[in-house]
Amino acid sequence: MSEALLNTLNQALASLSASQGRLLVGYSGGLDSTVLLHLLAQNAALKDRLLALHVHHGLSANADAWAAHCEQQCAQLQVPFVCERVVVSNHGAGIEQAAREARYQAFARHCQPGDTLLLAHHADDQAETFFMRLLRGSGLTGLAAMAAVRELQPGSGIWLLRPLLNIHRAQLEDYAAAQQLSWVDDESNGDERFERNWWRQTLLPQIFARLPGKDAALQRSIAQLQQDQQLLEELLQPAVEACLCSCHWPFAAGFSCSVTALLSAPAHHRPYLLRGWLTRCGLNGGMPGAEFLQRIEQEVIAAAPDRQPRLQLGDLTIRRYQQQLYLVAEIPPFSADPRDVVIADDCHIPWYGGALVTAPAAESRYDVLVQPGSYHLVPAGTCQGMTLKIAGRPRKTLKHLWQEAGVPPWLRECWPALLRDGELCALTGLYVAESAQPPAERREEEGRFLRWQGIF
């Protein structure tokens, strides 16, 4: 059994030999991840690249003991260990989904481009996922269940690999017993109030006992659905790209979705285009179903032009502005008072969960060249009635400048503004007053490009 399991794992890991990035193992301490980590630690060619990452959800009284167990096991295997504590916030999708989202966010924080994240999902997990999604009314994307390989987030350069998807839990149990491995048992896994446990403990054993051998047929069907899903994504890709616009606003995902382009597509294409947009925004886990996608069309896209519609999606919000859809993270409450700041080299001033930063050269059109020195930093919401005199232009009101720059309304109140002697000098990343610009003949030497970097 050990040799067969190693052969299956090695086939799944064949692509890793050509890469040089780290191999992060999602290590809960349970049977599945314990076997995966042990198998990987036996591979001399890969062991030096391993890092075990344990996510401490804080949901069980035993969570601290599980973390200590994982750290001890990693010490024995001589594998570096990291424990990441997270806060699980249930936004209505259930505690299991909330824990999953927190876990994947932790994975993303620790992974770097070129890394591979390895998770220990196996064939039984795949079957449970399929049936759960089937009875929730999922379409092709959901029924394709878990991919063996995918990018953790589109364009991230980080790959997620599930090398045990063709292995059943019973095989993992046999390996663990033969190797005398030690693991932890999550007491919640036996609680059939959780739907997955009900499938695992009761329904699937009965189905496959009544229909022996059909689990292999199910795996073939899932593989076919995944192939169909891949083909559909490839065919839709040009239409998805036509809807996307690069987005650099703080707290917004990297792409907005053009309402005009979306509405020009046939109605039955739009749910797929919306999913394509959300996927490009990095929303792999917690992808909304057909009912929610319909709500986006009805409540956000179809809202009156003078409205500012919004629709909550977990801890994110879908908003519309100037015929673009945005996926926006929650803007943290402002906890700092207006204050005096000095703009200089390597400036890093915390602001609304992000920061004002300087650079010697412009990196985007949202960088403005300001004269170094002392300023008073305030949220633009406190600057009502002020105007800005830009070189070569008449004075403009804030309302005019917001509209000209296309700044979404939800960012205007908290936008960082620089004052000097009570006069508005700059809207960081957008406009700078003539009085705050360095002299034309010394701009390159004295000026500093300033931008507001938000967090998504």
**CATH assignment of the domain containing 303:** 1.20.59.20
More confident residue, 164 or 98: 164
- Confirm whether 116 is domain-assigned: yes
Residue 93: DSSP 8-state:
S
3-state secondary structure of 263: helix
Long-range contact pairs involving 92-98 (C-beta distance under 8 Å, separation at least 24): 93/286, 93/314, 95/59, 96/194, 96/196, 97/286
pLDDT band at 276 (very low <50, low <70, confident <90, very high): very high
pLDDT in tens, 320-344: 999 999 999 887 766 557 889 998 8
**CATH assignment of the domain containing 25:** 3.40.50.620
Distances (CA, A) of 434 to 84, 242, 391: 48, 39, 5
Domain limits for position 138: 1-212
Q: What pLDDT does 356 receive?
A: 86
- Confirm whether 434 is domain-assigned: yes
- Confirm whether 143 is domain-assigned: yes
pLDDT band at 94 (very low <50, low <70, confident <90, very high): confident
pLDDT band at 275 (very low <50, low <70, confident <90, very high): very high
Residue holding tokens 């409205």? 307
Q: Name the domain boundary from 263, 297, 329.
A: 329
- Confirm whether 221 is domain-assigned: no
Burial 188-223 (b: 16+ CB within 10 A, else e): eeeeeebbebebbeeebeeebeeeeeebeebbeebb
Look at the chain and report how many structural domains it folds into. Answer: 3
Element (H, E) at 171: helix 169-179
12 and 159 share one domain: yes
364 and 325 share one domain: no
Q: Name the domain boundary from 212, 244, 269.
A: 212
- Range picked from 53-57, 208-212, 278-282 for highest mean pLDDT: 53-57
238 and 91 share one domain: no
193 and 63 share one domain: yes
CA nearest to 419, candidates 436, 407, 405, 404: 436
232 and 203 share one domain: no
387 and 289 share one domain: no
109 and 197 share one domain: yes
Q: Name the domain boundary from 212, 245, 262.
A: 212
- Confirm whether 220 is domain-assigned: no
- Confirm whether 334 is domain-assigned: no
350 and 436 share one domain: yes
Q: What pLDDT does 225 receive?
A: 95
- Confirm whether 222 is domain-assigned: no
Note the pTM of the prediction, 2 decimals: 0.78
272 and 252 share one domain: yes
More confident residue, 354 or 23: 23
325 and 344 share one domain: no
131 and 55 share one domain: yes
184 and 120 share one domain: yes
- Confirm whether 217 is domain-assigned: no
- Contact between 380 and 398 under an 8 Å Cβ cutoff? The reply is yes
Q: What pLDDT does 219 receive?
A: 93
Q: Which two tokens stand for residue 402?
A: 């917001």
- Residues linked to residue 320 through DSSP beta bridges, in sequence order: 325
